[in-house]
Each structure stands twice: as C-alpha cells, then as structure tokens.
C-alpha cells in the first residue's frame, strides 16, 4: 500500500474509532463497554500495515477523546479520575493491534476463515487485558460469565467486519478487472490499427522497390546513349533520385521490421475467442457512434463464439466494415454483425449490414480503389478512402472474397467477407 494512502486511512481511523466507540452498551454493568469502535478498528486494521503503531495511536486518541467528553459533560471534572477510568481502553487497542500483528492477519486475506478466527482471538485477548485493568483481580476476569459473552460478541463482530471487508475487496477486484479489460481492448485496437498500417507499408515497400528499379534502369539507358547536351546531367539527377528513393525504402523497411516484430503471426497470444473479438468491436463502435452523436443499435450473432481467431486480422477487417456502417447511418439505425462457419469447416464468413441510405455507386469496384470515397464530414472534407481498399487487399492476400449486396431483408447494405479457415483460425 502506498505511504500516502496508509496515512489517509490512519487519519480516518483516528477520527472514526473514537466517535464509533460512543455507540455502546455495558454488558457487565460497569465501566467495561462493547461498542462499534472495535468494529471500526478491526475494519481499518485489515487495511493497514503495520498494525501495532496504529493500535497505540488509536488507543491514545480514544482515551483523550473520552476524557474530553467527561470534561464537557461533568460539572466537576477530575483529570486523574477520568484518565484512570478510561486508560484501560488504551491497553485494549494496543493489545488488539499487537495480537493482530503477531498473528500476521494481513498476510492471510486469501484465507478469510483464518482472518475471522484470528481476529476473534485478538479481540477476546484484548478484552481480557482491558477487564484485568478494571477488575480487582484475575479471579473476577477468568469466569465463564465474562468470557462467554465476550467470545460470542467477538466472533459475530469479527465475521461481520470480515464480510463487509471482503465485499469491498470483491468490488475493487471487479473494478480493477473491468479497468484491465478496457486497457487490453485499447491495446488490441491500437495494435490492430498498426497491423493495418503494416499491410499498407508492405505494399508501399513493393512500390518503392519498383520505382527504384525503374529509375536505375532509366539512368542506365541514358548513360549508355551518346552524350548529347544535358543528357549527362539528367542521368546524374536520375541516379540521385534512385538513391533518395532507395533511402526511403530502407527507412520504411526498418519501420516495417519493427511492426512485424510487434505483431507476430506465430504468437499464441495473437488469438482470441471470436465472441470476445466481436464484443470488443461492438464496444469500440458504440463509443464511436456516441462520438458522432448517433443513436445506433448493434445486433450480433456468432455461430462459434469460442473459435480462436487471429486478433489483428479479425479486428482490422471486421472493425473497418462496422465503422463504415456506423458512418453510413445518418442519425439513428441498426448495424448487424453475423459470424458463421460453413458446413465444410473450411470458411469463416462475416456479414456486416446497416439500414443506412445504401450505396449509390453503380460500379461497386470503385469502392475498393485507393482514395475513392463517398463520405464527407460536416466541413465537406472527404475521408481517406483507404478502409475498403485495405479490406480488399487483405482479402486478396488471404485468398478470401468480399461481396456487397443491397436491400437484403431489413438492411440497405450488406458487406460479406469469406476467409479460408486456415488463414484466420488458430492451428490446433
């Protein structure tokens, strides 16, 4: 636990325990009290390490607090008498904390039964010490009429506090797990975007290689021709351009090598159940729809939710199609995501449908051309037009198929992609 957090808990305990101690009753008709102060004290001890110093400080504050109440409420306040009457409470809290530390209770949070039993023993021992200071001798303390009620109260109180403490810990664990899930989803979406960029970069590398080769061939041709006027100067410039393009290629190769190392196709962690992957996409696109101020419902149907699919391929492909569907819907509507496996178990099929205005392009092949777009933002700026181009390119590389259909049932547009099982599903 961080130091600042420990100090905050200790400060709250020093205020809460004395106040809670005033909610009390006297089981033996004397100065000995049973109060909620012990309940609060036990609860805070479960959070603090070490416990001994906290117990001594709490005991001192409790004694001073009770003396202060006597000074306020008594007509004739006698300091020595008040201190003598309340001083046994100090030994109660100091003994409780000492036994708590001796038993190492805070190392046993994973074994709640032991925590409850040891907490009960610590409270019984602390009560016996306090009673020994209040009673004339030990013979009055070691009696079943005293020990029995103390043990029952300690047992009930310890397990009540333990139950409340574990409820809080469980809630914290759920909250942390949820936070970790959100963090993992953000990382997965980020890496899937990097995966998409790596595909584009790979294509660019091929193009740069072709440009370098063409420039060098042109340089050779100009160099071999008879020298005429500025042909020598042009040849040198062509060679310089080829060298510059080659440098760009080497830089891109370094970037691509880094991305490829980050995104390893052979890594077992690169596969997740299909149902979880679709859920990640839906949650991401729900946030995207809210950001665009659109009211969009998502309908999901996954045939094989536990089928282990490649994370980045699945996320990047399906997420692109779902994002396009979200952008196509004007204000409100519905997006359907269906994932199925054919009877031969050789193909995985994803269908993404929306009830937007549909596609007005007659030649649908234009949709897959780099830079082509039918979407513009509120300022009239067009989108990049590389989403569907990327999907088409990946589908070609994986020997898959992509189809577009319109007016299918209640949806205006349906994108369907079919991938070979071997290209996306984890090998057993």
- 413 shares a domain with 282: yes
With beta carbons less than 8 A apart as the criterion, state whether 151 and 47 touch. Answer: no
With beta carbons less than 8 A apart as the criterion, state whether 126 and 45 touch. Answer: no
The strand pair at 295-302 and 34-35 is best described as unpaired
Domain of 247 in residue numbering reads as 185-267
The answer to whether residue 351 is domain-embedded is yes
The answer to whether residue 279 is domain-embedded is yes
**Nearest Cα to Cα of residue 364 among 416, 410, 320, 319:** 416
Place of tokens 């001083």: 87
- 277 shares a domain with 209: no
Q: For the whole model, what pTM was predicted? A: 0.54
Rounded CA-CA distance 365/39 in Å is: 73
- 197 shares a domain with 223: yes
The answer to whether residue 170 is domain-embedded is no
The CATH number covering residue 372 comes to 3.30.565.10
Residues facing residue 406 across a β-bridge: 413
- 259 shares a domain with 285: no
Single residue among 118, 142, 166 that ends a domain in this structure: 142
**Nearest Cα to Cα of residue 150 among 116, 125, 118:** 125
- 65 shares a domain with 198: no
- 194 shares a domain with 71: no
With beta carbons less than 8 A apart as the criterion, state whether 152 and 34 touch. Answer: no
Rounded to 10 deg, the angle between the 144-224 and 112-134 helix axes is: 140
The answer to whether residue 260 is domain-embedded is yes
pLDDT at 383: 45
Number of domains in the chain: 3
The answer to whether residue 176 is domain-embedded is no
Q: Is the dihedral of CA 367, 368, 369, 372 positive or negative?
A: positive
- 419 shares a domain with 280: yes
- 203 shares a domain with 106: no
Rounded CA-CA distance 57/42 in Å is: 14
Place of tokens 């004397």: 30
Q: Which residues of the chain register pLDDT less than 50?
A: 265-268, 371, 376-385
Please give the structure tokens belonging to residue 340: 């199925």
Rounded CA-CA distance 349/339 in Å is: 6
- 292 shares a domain with 400: yes
pLDDT at 164: 85
User: How confident is the model over 284-338, as pLDDT tens digits?
Assistant: 889 889 988 999 999 999 988 889 988 878 888 898 899 889 988 888 999 999 9
Query: How many Cβ atoms from other residues are within 10 Å of residue 113's Cβ?
Result: 10
- 261 shares a domain with 315: no
- 403 shares a domain with 336: yes
The answer to whether residue 56 is domain-embedded is yes
- Cα-trace Rg, the chain: 37
Rounded CA-CA distance 255/168 in Å is: 47
The answer to whether residue 160 is domain-embedded is no
Please give the structure tokens belonging to residue 364: 């649908």
Rounded CA-CA distance 18/40 in Å is: 9
User: How confident is the model over 333-369, as pLDDT tens digits?
Assistant: 999 999 999 877 889 999 999 988 877 655 566 676 6
Rounded CA-CA distance 204/207 in Å is: 5
Single residue among 267, 289, 314 that ends a domain in this structure: 267
Single residue among 85, 120, 142 that ends a domain in this structure: 142
The answer to whether residue 200 is domain-embedded is yes
- 330 shares a domain with 256: no
């Amino acid at each position: 636990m961080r130091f600042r957090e420990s100090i905050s808990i200790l400060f709250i305990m020093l205020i809460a325990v004395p106040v809670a101690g005033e909610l009390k009753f006297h089981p033996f008709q004397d100065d000995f009290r049973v109060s909620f102060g012990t309940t609060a004290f036990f609860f805070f001890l479960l959070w603090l390490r070490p416990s001994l110093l906290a117990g001594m400080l709490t005991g001192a504050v409790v004694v001073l607090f009770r003396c202060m109440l006597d000074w306020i409420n008594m007509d004739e306040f006698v300091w020595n008498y008040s201190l003598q009457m309340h001083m046994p409470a100090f030994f109660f809290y100091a003994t409780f904390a000492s036994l708590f530390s001796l038993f190492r209770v805070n190392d046993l949070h994973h074994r709640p039964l032991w925590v409850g039993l040891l907490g009960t023993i610590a409270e019984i021992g602390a009560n016996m010490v306090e009673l020994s200071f209040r009673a004339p001798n030990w013979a009055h303390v070691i009696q079943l009429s005293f020990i029995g009620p103390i043990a029952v109260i300690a047992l009930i109180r310890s397990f009540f506090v333990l139950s409340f403490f574990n409820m809080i810990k469980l809630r914290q664990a759920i909250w942390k797990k949820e936070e970790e899930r959100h963090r993992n989803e953000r990382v997965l979406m980020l890496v899937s975007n990097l995966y998409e960029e790596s595909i584009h970069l790979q294509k660019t590398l091929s193009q740069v290689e072709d440009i370098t080769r063409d420039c060098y061939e042109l340089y050779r041709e100009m160099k071999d021709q008879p020298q005429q006027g500025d042909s020598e100067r042009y040849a040198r410039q062509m060679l310089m351009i080829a060298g510059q393009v080659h440098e760009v290629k080497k830089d891109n190769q370094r970037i691509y090598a880094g991305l490829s190392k980050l995104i390893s196709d052979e890594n077992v962690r690169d596969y997740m159940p299909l149902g979880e992957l679709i859920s990640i996409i839906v949650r991401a696109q729900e946030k995207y729809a809210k950001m665009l101020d659109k009211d969009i419902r998502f309908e999901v149907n996954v045939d094989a939710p536990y089928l282990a699919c490649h994370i980045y391929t699945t996320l990047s492909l399906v997420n692109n199609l779902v994002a396009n569907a979200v952008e196509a819907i004007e204000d409100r509507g519905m997006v359907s995501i269906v994932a199925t496996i054919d009877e031969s178990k050789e193909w995985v099929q994803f269908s993404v449908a929306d009830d937007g205005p549909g596609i007005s392009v007659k030649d649908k092949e234009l949709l897959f051309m780099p830079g082509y777009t039918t979407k513009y933002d509120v300022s009239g700026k067009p989108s990049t037009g590389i989403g569907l181009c990327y999907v088409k390119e990946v589908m070609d590389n994986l020997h898959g198929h992509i189809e577009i259909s319109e007016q299918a049932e209640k949806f205006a547009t349906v994108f369907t992609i079919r991938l070979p099982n071997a290209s996306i599903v984890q090998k057993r």
